[in-house]
Amino acid sequence: MGYYITVEHGVDIYVNDVGPSDGKPIVFIHGWPQNNKIFEYQYNQLPKWGYRCIGIDLRGFGKSDKPWSGYSYDRLADDIRVILENIRVNNIILAGHSMGGAIVIRYMARHMGYKVRKLALLAAAAPIFTKRPGFPVGLTNMTKEDVNKLIVQTYTDRPEMIKEFGEKFFYQPVSDSFANWVQSLALEASGNATARTAVSLRDEELWRDLSMIRVPTGIFHGIHDVICPFPLAEAMNNEIRHAELIPFMNSGHGLFYCEMDKFNYEFARFSN
């Protein structure tokens, strides 16, 4: 079932709630520039194993409202806090993919892990997404100029930008139909939200946030990821207490589809 929760005046966030109401709750936060439907192949399987899957469309994406402002990691983390305050669940597994991984890390630091039992980082865009002085060499392929080009493309030819970005998403071949479906999810976002969250991806840093995570954390990452390279996973593993690094040897950024069966199994194992 789906429903809306008001996170501030005039902003309603869509929540997709799949599986048994008394199941172990997992809250999914999608990446840039998609929405919660990207987790369809987890929603198909995990409820069979007793999990309740709660997918959130971030503001500006999917079926959520698309306000002009509010696209910093702080505000997006605050939206999650309001949603969790209004859903009658506790002891959740909080899972974030790509930019969603960065946002859930900020949530853990900013809101002291409210209601979270375990944290799952799926190809997370953290602790940084773009190169900058003063940080270890070789962590990321992206420069601020690269992201600026994505922002310009968003304002001039968003469908082509999404198509080109999507071509980097999977390591394993996917059908044209599946690639078109993934692209269609990104087109459900507003152009403004797509550009403004790209600014957050470009500029935010999460090194200090990592040290504030106090729950068991699974770091799920494809070794062939060219969007968020595997050294980012190793950096997070070094900085987060009680972390477990789970590499996917035949996956890129979309590891939950590239190695679907392995991902679902390992994710359920970690979430138990």
Q: Which of 79, 225, 251, 271 is catalytic?
A: 225
Count of domains forming the chain: 1
pLDDT band for 135, please (50, 70, 90 cuts).
confident
Strands 11-18 and 51-56, how do they pair? antiparallel
57-88: pLDDT as tens digits: 999 999 999 999 999 999 999 999 999 999 98
**What is the greatest pairwise CA distance in the chain?**
48
pLDDT mean across residues, the chain: 96
User: pTM for the full model?
Assistant: 0.97
Distances (CA, A) of 67 to 42, 72, 116, 171, 191: 29, 13, 28, 34, 11
188-231: pLDDT as tens digits: 999 999 999 999 999 999 999 999 999 999 999 999 999 999 99
Please give the pLDDT value at position 132.
85
Buried b / exposed e over 125-141, threshold 16 CB at 10 Å, is: bbbbbbbeeeeeeebbb
Reply yes or no on whether 253 is catalytic: yes
**Rounded-to-integer distance, Cα 25 and Cα 16, Å:** 12
CATH label of the domain that carries residue 110: 3.40.50.1820
Q: Write out the residue range of the structural domain in which residue 214 sits.
A: 2-271
pLDDT band for 140, please (50, 70, 90 cuts).
confident
Concatenate the DSSP letters of all residues of 138-165 into one string.
TS-SB-HHHHHHHHHHHHH-HHHHHHHH
Please give the pLDDT value at position 116.
98
**CA-wise closest residue to 197 among 99, 94, 56, 50:** 99
Q: Which of 30, 221, 224, 253 is catalytic?
A: 253
Q: Are 87 and 119 in contact (CB under 8 A)?
A: no
Q: Which of 64, 98, 251, 271 is catalytic?
A: 98
Reply yes or no on whether 211 is catalytic: no
Reply yes or no on whether 97 is catalytic: no
